[in-house]
Amino acid sequence: MLDAVLRRGETLEQAEGPALKNVRSAPDKALARALANETLRWLPDLDTLIDSATRQRLPDDAKARSVLRLMLAGWLRLETPPHAVIATGLPLLAGGPRRLAHGVFSTLDKRGAALPPTPGLPEPVAARWGEKAANIAAGLAEPPPLDLTLRDSTETQHWANQLAADSFLPGHLRLPRGSAVEKLAGFSEGAWWVQDLAASLPARLLGAGDGRHVLDLCAAPGGKTLQLAAAGWNVTALDLSKRRLELLKDNLRRTGLKAAPVRADALQWEPKHKFDAILLDAPCTATGTCRRHPDVLHRIGPRQIADMAALQAALLERAASWLKPGGTLVYAVCSLEAAEGEAQVSRVPLQPVPISQGELPSGIAPTPKGWLRTHPGMLAEQGGLDGFFVARWRAG
């Protein structure tokens, strides 16, 4: 799994299927995912420890380095006892430098090696994120908690009591990570769906629908579609992916909410009418999801960012032309890259509608220009949130 991410640039989700196809035990699969995730989350710091215990630096792609990374992640992050780490790690180097790996691990064990309080970022990532990098890294030390969005925001207190959850604003709940989603009260009756707090904010910025028509562009797997439907909008939910649209339809069935799913390429599709509002949650590099998907820290670079920025610009141009006079456009990306956020706003030939403090949870403020920029270091003591950029406009 590590090799697929670091050498081939695959997502960890893509890598899981082939890598775990012969692993039958659910706990073993979960352990493999946790080891891979924690290794990627702390990779620069694990490498620093390894390099401190070797006379000659191991190549980045050396199998011994990969195995040592996993061994150290198992010991320092998953609290596996050193003897168990050695017993399970060294067989991965059968016919290879087992003695070297054993020596490095034993040296670090004897030293009482430890990881820093927050993960170090890969150098190219830290350079891109600039002065925000340290604050973002502070939010990456732990996997995120579980956020839920309620179908009926007036029942926030009821479900907070039922699930022993915290709430940061009406219609939102936060539970500790590790909660088994399908077993939670309210799942089978569709009272809520899983959605990061930051991901729930763009749809909120459109307000109540009152039966008006909204286009949810790039809609699947459907969290924002469900929000819009619950807020009284008549929703057209467009997405290109058949698999992801099936997830959206499943969520509609479970919650009992109504929307019109459409499978089409937004760069080719033409609507039959214009819309009162459009929510464009554009395809992006997803670097803002690095708390839950630390692979993005290691496989996203300038080429992917440029490709996504070009696609976003094309989608924004089309979306702006599909609004009725007086209609509202909200643009969002779960990216921490300025090229996908701040750099896009000048392309939109509409009147900006600044986001106000009153529309956001306590502890999150709009930028001086009226945009929203979140990152994992925000609300860190309460579990943080994903990185998003959001802007809003109105057609003349």
101 pLDDT higher than 90: yes
CA distance 387 to 227: 19
Residue with tokens 């198992």: 74
CA distance 113 to 234: 57
241 pLDDT higher than 90: yes
Find out whether 340 and 389 touch, Cβ atoms under 8 Å: yes
% residues pLDDT > 90 (the chain)? 97
- pLDDT top residue among 66 and 178: 66
Per-residue model confidence (pLDDT) at position 189: 94
Catalytic residue status for 334: yes
Per-residue model confidence (pLDDT) at position 133: 97
CA distance 192 to 151: 5
Type of residue numbered 168? F
Residue with tokens 């596996």: 80
Per-residue model confidence (pLDDT) at position 91: 95
DSSP alpha helices (H): ranges in the chain?
A: 2-6, 12-20, 26-41, 43-52, 63-76, 82-89, 98-111, 123-129, 133-138, 156-163, 197-204, 223-230, 242-255, 296-299, 302-320
Residues pairing with 237 in the sheet: 216, 261
Per-residue model confidence (pLDDT) at position 180: 85
Of 344, 371, 14, 29, the C-alpha closest to 201 is: 371
Average pLDDT, stretch 72-98? 95
178 pLDDT higher than 90: no
**CATH of 2-111 given 2.70.98.60, 1.20.970.10, 1.10.940.10, 3.40.50.620:** 1.10.940.10
Per-residue pLDDT tens over the stretch 274-328: 999 999 999 999 999 999 999 999 999 999 999 999 999 999 999 999 999 999 9
Per-residue model confidence (pLDDT) at position 223: 97
46 pLDDT higher than 90: yes
Going from N- to C-terminal start, the domains of the chain cover 2-111, 196-394
Per-residue pLDDT tens over the stretch 134-153: 999 999 999 999 999 999 99
pLDDT grade for 387, boundaries at 50, 70 and 90 = very high
Find out whether 355 and 205 touch, Cβ atoms under 8 Å: yes
Per-residue pLDDT tens over the stretch 359-380: 999 999 999 999 999 999 999 9
Average pLDDT, stretch 212-229? 97
Query: How many residues are recorded in the chain?
Result: 396
* CB proximity list for 141: less than 8 A, separation 6 or greater: 117, 118, 119
Active-site residue, selected from the candidate residues 218, 284, 290, 334:
334
Domains 2-111 and 196-394 fall in the same CATH topology? no
Three-class DSSP category at 148: strand
Rg, the chain, Cα only: 23
* CB proximity list for 110: less than 8 A, separation 6 or greater: none
Per-residue model confidence (pLDDT) at position 347: 84
Mean pLDDT of all residues belonging to the chain: 96
Tokens of 306: 């440029």
Average pLDDT, stretch 225-245? 97
Find out whether 1 and 295 touch, Cβ atoms under 8 Å: no
DSSP 12-70: HHHHHHHHHTT---HHHHHHHHHHHHHHHHTHHHHHHHHHHT-SSPPPTT-HHHHHHHH
pLDDT grade for 179, boundaries at 50, 70 and 90 = confident
Per-residue model confidence (pLDDT) at position 96: 86
Domain topology for 196-394? Rossmann fold (3.40.50)
pLDDT grade for 164, boundaries at 50, 70 and 90 = very high
Per-residue pLDDT tens over the stretch 184-197: 999 999 999 999 99
